[in-house]
Amino acid sequence: MVFKMNKTPRILNGIEIAAEIKAEVAAEARALTAAGVTPGLAVVLVGHVAASEIYVRSKVKTSAELGLHSEMLTPPESVTTEEMLALIAELNARDEIDGILIQLPLPAHVDTRRLLEAVSPEKDVDGFHPINAGRLQSGKPALAPCTPAGIMEILRRSGLPVAGQHAVVLGRSDIVGKPAAMMLLNASATVTVCHSKTVNLARYTRDADILVAAIGKPGFVTAEMVKPGATLIDVGINRITDAAEVARFFPEDKARAAQFAQRGSTLVGDIDPAAFELAGAYTPVPGGVGALTIAMLMHNTVQAAKARRGAKALAVAAAAAKA
């Protein structure tokens, strides 16, 4: 049986929260630049994958808007692992580059793990390096993966409690599931991690005060799997092209129907939109968690610049101001 909430669920607007973070990043970047340090980001895009190219251009554009220096490097799809390692070594050595991001996925013949581990941990703005993962696990300051960091910012800036809450993370990827679970644990939540081999999954999701869905299956979490009043964090971004699926997920949504008629597709998260009616608060798709990813990348780049070069530069600027 599904119980409906008596009050309207709160929509957690990721676009507005991302705008707040970007404004803060821009202010920090201006302070660093005034002290002689312009945060620098290098994005490496291998080959020509349309979706990746669009995403990378958005990152470069946002960098410029916030006052960061950015470079896009585009090795050919035929590039070898050794050639990529040489490129990463060159970027590691460049002092004006504070953040290095390798756009995934890479071609099958390239050793992704070797490349990610070759990036200097101090410049690992994606938070994928084992050293940063270890720092995160031990509760030490670290460059954290952008999407899980964005989830935590949504919860924090929305004033939603985390300490003492039962958080269930659906998904165990190194990019989202595992680091999200660790961040929630570090924030004093009681954390359960579920995955494709979990038996009687709904038993756990129905007990979640905070449910993070990052499994990559459209509408996988149904209303029957949700605790009334829970906070639902939907990480999934799934493009559906079947009219029957659109009708199933958005039966009374005329705007979605019109969008599908025009584009031939629409987006749905990992949580069935019908489940949102039960939530105390939820992130929409689009306009939720996805909006935070680039904002957190910019944040990580500025933090890397401050850690590597900013403290000395700001001290020099402060001394000059007093003179």
Catalytic residues: 59, 103, 126
* Nearby residues of 160 by Cβ (< 8 Å), 6 or more positions away: 210, 231, 281
What the block records as the tokens of 1 is 């049986």
Report residue 170: phi and psi, to 5°. -100, 100
Closest by CA to 267, choosing from 196, 216, 210, is: 216
Which helix (H) or strand (E) element contains residue 70?
strand 69-73
Which helix (H) or strand (E) element contains residue 281?
strand 281-282
* Nearby residues of 14 by Cβ (< 8 Å), 6 or more positions away: 150, 154, 283, 284, 287, 288, 289, 290, 291, 292
Q: Cα separation of 33 and 43, whole Å?
A: 20
Q: Distance of CA 94 to CAs 87, 130, 197, 272, Å?
A: 11, 22, 44, 46
Q: Cα separation of 176 and 50, whole Å?
A: 23
What the block records as the tokens of 74 is 């585009």
What the block records as the tokens of 288 is 């939720």
Closest by CA to 191, choosing from 210, 217, 175, is: 210
For helices 290-305 and 14-34, the axis angle rounded to 10 degrees is 20
